[in-house]
Amino acid sequence: MSVPDFGSNASNRYRRQTQFAPLGTAGQERLAQSSVAICGCGALGSVLAERLIRAGVGRIRLIDRDWVEWDNLPRQTLFTEADAEQRLPKAVAASEKLRAIDSRIALEVAVEDITFRNVHQLLGDVDVILDGTDNFETRYLVNDFAIAHAKPWVHAGCIGAQGQVLPLWPGKTACFRCLLPELPPADSVGTCDTVGVLGPAVSMIASCQALEAIKLLTHTTNETLGKLQVFDMWQGTHRSISLGALYADGQCPACQKRDLEFLEGRRSAATSILCGKNAVQVQAPATQRINLKEMSERLAVHGNVQVNAFLLRVQVDAFHITLFSDGRAIIAGTEDPAIARSVYSKVIGN
């Protein structure tokens, strides 16, 4: 990996960090040579990305499947009204703001959904994986990948004014499935759409997550590794829960029994309902790339087609379709996966 040239201003730029004894100049140099993947550039991910680029992490890969919308702006700190008006992919919009903060750090953008087909390509060459996702299936997939490669990652989540942070290192700590052995039923977990979420709570959780990432990247003694930190910012409470006993019982289907079903694609949904969008994401039937310009010409029979380097949009009957170059599409206008698959087949094809 090429290391950013921080030039003569580097010591001045990071002097307040290096004065912190547990980090020091050696820790700062490790940050400059390190890499992270941020899985999701929404509420948590946008704060994470800004904190880590300001900290001097040498290479950051931004991965997100979505675009900027107006109701993102209260809590997703890197985005502006112009991004929402243009409906820019979040990873692209975030990278533009981050380059203005520090143009020397290597930023990589992936406008993709993380699946068992591309997870090795997206996460295989980074030092630490950071969870900014909004769904459990992706977290289970990341957990499987981390187990297979003994790679550290930091889970986080936030809803309402509550949140949690959990730094994990398979082989050294429990894994995510030690905590949650099975996918929770969809109706048992609140979402931003049903419960709401407060921006200050998101920022606090993401900042704690960024701090855990810095500890992992700098090989600092980490007393919180493998401990679930639970916060209620509205009530002002905090709990720390060790997962050691769960790891010791030997019953985890993933890290103990090595059944990595999400990584192997044996549990992978072809569709997923997107929180608060009245929309369903449909995965491509197979690994494929779509020429968006050619597809836009084909779909012109349906009316106005908007296309850029990352996606195209078209309305067909009552459905607003957003198609990405990896073949993935978001069908807005329904929360019925069967209807969404039917629209995909009819408009995009097989």
Point out the least confidently predicted range of 70-74, 107-111, 168-172, 267-271: 267-271
**Are residue 127 and residue 24 in the same domain, yes or no?**
yes
Q: Please give the tally of structural domains in the chain.
A: 2
Q: Is residue 227 part of a domain?
A: yes
pLDDT at res. 3 = 47
Q: Is residue 260 part of a domain?
A: no
**Are residue 17 and residue 90 in the same domain, yes or no?**
yes
**Are residue 128 and residue 240 in the same domain, yes or no?**
yes
| Mean pLDDT along residues 303-309 | 88
**Are residue 61 and residue 192 in the same domain, yes or no?**
yes
**Are residue 122 and residue 217 in the same domain, yes or no?**
yes
pLDDT-based confidence at 177, cuts 50/70/90? Answer: very high
The residue assigned the tokens 């106005």 is 304
- pLDDT reading at 225 higher than 90: yes
Q: How far apart are CA 228 and CA 244, in angstroms?
A: 11
pLDDT-based confidence at 157, cuts 50/70/90? Answer: very high
pLDDT-based confidence at 161, cuts 50/70/90? Answer: very high
Q: Is residue 277 part of a domain?
A: yes
Q: Is residue 326 part of a domain?
A: yes
**Are residue 199 and residue 295 in the same domain, yes or no?**
no
Q: Is residue 25 part of a domain?
A: yes
| Mean pLDDT along residues 99-103 | 95
**Are residue 180 and residue 314 in the same domain, yes or no?**
no
Q: Is residue 280 part of a domain?
A: yes
pLDDT at res. 342 = 83
**CA 116 → CA 179, 213, 349, distances in Å?**
22, 24, 22
Q: Where are the beta strands (DSSP E) in the chain?
A: 35-39, 59-63, 106-110, 128-131, 153-159, 162-168, 227-232, 237-242, 271-274, 279-282, 305-307, 311-316, 319-324, 329-332
Give the domain CATH number at 199: 3.40.50.720
Give the domain CATH number at 282: 3.30.310
**Are residue 134 and residue 277 in the same domain, yes or no?**
no
Residue 239, strand partner residues: 230
Cβ 169 vs Cβ 152: under 8 Å: yes
**Are residue 234 and residue 121 in the same domain, yes or no?**
yes
**Are residue 212 and residue 323 in the same domain, yes or no?**
no
178, 213, 248 — which closes off a domain? 248
**Are residue 139 and residue 220 in the same domain, yes or no?**
yes
Average pLDDT value over all residues in the chain = 89
248, 280, 311 — which closes off a domain? 248
The boundaries of the domain holding residue 100 are 10-248
**Are residue 234 and residue 302 in the same domain, yes or no?**
no
Q: Is residue 264 part of a domain?
A: no
Cβ 49 vs Cβ 41: under 8 Å: yes
Q: Is residue 262 part of a domain?
A: no
Cβ 185 vs Cβ 191: under 8 Å: no
Cβ 43 vs Cβ 73: under 8 Å: no
